[in-house]
């Protein structure tokens, strides 16, 4: 049914009042200050009242922050193998298959369990120690690649991170990769100031790696988060499985190795976050994915 002009005017005024109050509440720190001094209430999408609902963004690292698997970790593994005189080169296709296994040490173990172990890594107590040694060397090589600027951030990552920081949305990286490598990637590619806003949960901090939900549950518990107000950013069905097992909404940004994977159950699937806020993923996009509670 229609409404007369006075009714419409009253409705518009009420709506603007609600939005204004909600927007102020979302920027209020509880200590007499507002966190969004550079984000006008009715400005960009990143400053709308909806953001009061979004508490944290939990990023995977490899394939999400940067497309590191094919052009970072894989050549780093190969260099570590060469330095240790191991007759092994993981080509793009083989490494893609091995990515079904979460974790670098686990990936090497799975490969050699399948094809046979090198004579230089005999069975016994020293086998896993050698695998750990190889992985540590691989990590150092990988960090050299990061430091050299060989691996850029994916589109839209810095934009979303900056919008989240300005809006008071908390940030974490939850990864199966080595903690030192993840921290170095974030600091080197984003800068120390942005890196200081991140909590890092990575490597062997948990007993079970993705697709188990442990790393996400650790982040939620340690940071004191509400799962219904968090969104996970993943790029693989293994990561999506971890997010779903944790009971947290998940947006998938496809990466070079995962474009054709099955992402059934994802809250949203995109090619990337997008550098342009007008067409890419925004904080409002993420807010719209939050689980609805009764």
| Residue numbers annotated as active site | 60, 62
Burial class of 13 by CB neighbour count within 10 A (0 to 12, 13 to 18, 19+): exposed
Structure tokens at 182: 């993840």
CB 189 within 8 A of CB 146: yes
Residues in contact with 149: Cβ distance below 8 Å, sequence separation at least 6, in sequence order: none
Label the pairing between strands 198-201 and 249-253: unpaired
- Specify the residue for token string 């009042």: 17
d(CA 232, CA 58): 5
The upper half-sphere exposure of residue 30, i.e. CA atoms within 13 Å in the direction of its Cβ, equals 1
Backbone CA torsion sign across 83, 130, 72, 91: positive
For residues 159 and 109, the answer to whether their CB atoms sit within 8 Å is no
Q: Which of 181, 211, 240 lies closest to 101, judged by CA?
A: 211
C-beta of residue 244 within 8 angstroms of C-beta of residue 127? no
């Amino acid at each position: 049914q229609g409404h007369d002009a006075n009714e419409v005017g009253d409705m518009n005024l009420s709506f603007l009042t609600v939005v204004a109050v909600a927007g102020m509440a979302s920027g209020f720190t509880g200590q007499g200050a507002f966190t969004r001094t550079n984000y006008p209430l009715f400005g960009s999408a990143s400053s709308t009242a909806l953001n009061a609902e979004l508490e944290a963004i939990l990023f995977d690292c490899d394939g999400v922050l940067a497309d590191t698997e094919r052009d970072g970790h894989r050549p780093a593994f190969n260099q570590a193998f060469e330095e240790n005189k191991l007759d092994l080169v993981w080509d793009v296709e083989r490494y893609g298959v091995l990515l079904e296994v979460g974790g670098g040490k686990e990936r090497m173990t799975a490969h050699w369990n399948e094809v046979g172990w090198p004579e230089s890594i005999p069975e016994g107590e020293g086998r896993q120690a050698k695998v750990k040694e190889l992985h540590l060397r691989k990590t150092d090589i990988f960090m050299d690649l990061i430091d050299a600027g060989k691996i850029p951030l994916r589109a839209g990552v810095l934009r979303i991170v900056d919008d989240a920081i300005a809006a008071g949305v908390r940030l974490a990286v939850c990864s199966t990769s080595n903690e030192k490598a993840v921290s170095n990637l974030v600091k080197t590619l984003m800068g120390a100031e942005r890196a200081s806003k991140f909590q890092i949960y990575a490597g062997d901090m948990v007993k079970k790696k993705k697709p188990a939900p442990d790393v996400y549950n650790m982040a939620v518990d340690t940071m004191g988060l509400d799962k219904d107000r968090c969104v996970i950013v993943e790029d693989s069905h293994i990561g999506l499985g971890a997010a779903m097992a944790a009971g947290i909404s998940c947006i998938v940004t496809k990466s070079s190795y995962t474009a054709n994977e099955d992402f059934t159950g994802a809250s949203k699937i995109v090619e990337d976050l997008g550098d342009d806020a007008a067409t890419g993923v925004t904080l409002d996009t993420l807010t719209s994915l939050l689980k609805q509670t009764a």
